[in-house]
Homo-oligomer: A and B are copies of this chain.
Amino acid sequence: MSTSSKTFTVPLDEENWILTPVEAGLDGTWLGSIQMRTLHGGRQEGVKVIDVDNGVTTFSVVPTRGMSVHSVHCGDVTLGWESPVTDIVHPAYINLDSRGGLGWLDGFNEWMVRCGTEFAGHPGDDNGHMLNLHGKAGNIPASAVEVVIDNDAPHRIRLRGLVEEKTFKFVNYELLTEVSTTPGEAGLHFSDVLRNLGAYETEYQIIYHTNFGAPLLGENATFLAPFKTVTPFDDYAAKDIGSWTRYLGPTREYGEQVYCVEPYADANNQTLVMLRNADGDRGAAMRFDTTTLPYFTLWKNTDTLEEGYVTGLEPATGFPYNRSIERRFNRVPRIGSGETRSFSMSVSVLSDSAAIKATEAEISALQADRPSQINSVSATPPSD
């Protein structure tokens, strides 16, 4: 299939910019727009934000922060959360190595931020190399930002940006990111390609760190997935393994509990997980390709509202342990010189109980009669 399309360069050197349906040739078909704006003041000085409105769903992409998606709005559903970090922080103000490698937390407030791609997990030493939490990709400004719109129906609207992670003698990666949607769609789709421009085969890691607060997250909200195994990340998570799919309301001193999931997929390596609200009438369905994203982490951080009441649904190449641990468990993939890896993930907003039920049925069908193993202790060696 060859699809013709129109390409519009997003002018990152300008203060504001707008692409209308008329300019895109979709007048009457598309009831929205794509707009770029520039933030000023505080730690967000100079940050570029691109607001995409497909007529039903709106979302904000931040090229200055690695093409992260700050939040999504669709009807009365918001995908995103209320982080204590309220600014969209410019990477120039973030030192990823601070607080023993936890500097990433100075800017963490997105609905979806990519962790990676040289490394993606917990900070600490890996064989003489000090890794920072969740890698660098989320704090690298994108270049070559452009909008590509298919001429043919359903006129998919693609927002692309290039995230270069390049250090002489260490890493030579380009991550061509794409987030897309079609006019009127209640959701969006990620389709990223990682390319190793270096001469040697090297390790990589990526986590799609999506984060949800209200209105989907709340007391008795539920997580659903077809899964082969679930394992608590640590002893604290093990304590509550019995209720790992169910959420508490905002809870003082809860901190975080993390669960490591091996999802089941269909014959085409497609899987589906869901976050469902307590009433069972709103939710988010996340579909991803387990070929390159075989693991999934559920991060339950249902502490108080003030501290950032949030849960993370995180398809990934592995689990968020330090890379030294991930390597020991053979969860660090490699990419050869000149090779590419493609990552695919879609998120749909579910706005009534019928949609929730249909998704539940689909998840059940994926599970089918395959067994689920619930491990009650962490698999990580005590020494870590």
Of A85, A166, A304, A337, which is in contact with the most chain B CB atoms at under 10 Å from its CB? A166
Q: A141-B42, A199-B307 known; A91 and B93 CB under 8 Å?
A: yes
Do B99 and A307 touch (CB < 8 A)?
no
Q: Which of B13, B128, B164 contacts A42 (CB 8 A)?
A: B164
Tell me whether A164 and B307 are in contact in the complex, defined as CB-CB below 8 angstroms, given that A96-B95, A170-B105 are known contacts: no
A85-B166, A95-B96, A100-B130 given; A142·B198 CB < 8 A: no
Query: Which of A84, A92, A305 gathers the greatest number of chain B CB atoms within 10 Å?
Result: A84
Residues of B within 8 A of A307 (CB): 169, 172, 198-200
Cα–Cα, bound, A307→B170 (Å): 9
Please name all residues of chain B whose beta carbon is closer than 8 Å to the beta carbon of A298 when the two chains form the complex: none
User: For chain A, which range describes its interface: under 10, 10 to 19, 20 to 34, or 35 or more residues?
Assistant: 35 or more
Complexed CA–CA distance, A371 and B43 (Å): 48
Q: Is A140 an interface residue (CB 8 A)?
A: yes
From B42, B43, B97, B168, contact of A108 by CB (8 A): B168
For window 73-97 of chain A, which residues contact chain B by CB distance below 8 Å?
83-87, 91-93, 95-97
Contact B304 A199 (CB under 8 A): yes
Quick check: is A308 within 8 A (CB to CB) of the other chain? yes
CA of A305 to CA of B170, assembled, Å:
15
Determine whether A129 belongs to the interface, using a CB cutoff of 8 Å to chain B: yes
Per the bound structure, the CA–CA distance linking A198 and B307 in Å amounts to: 6
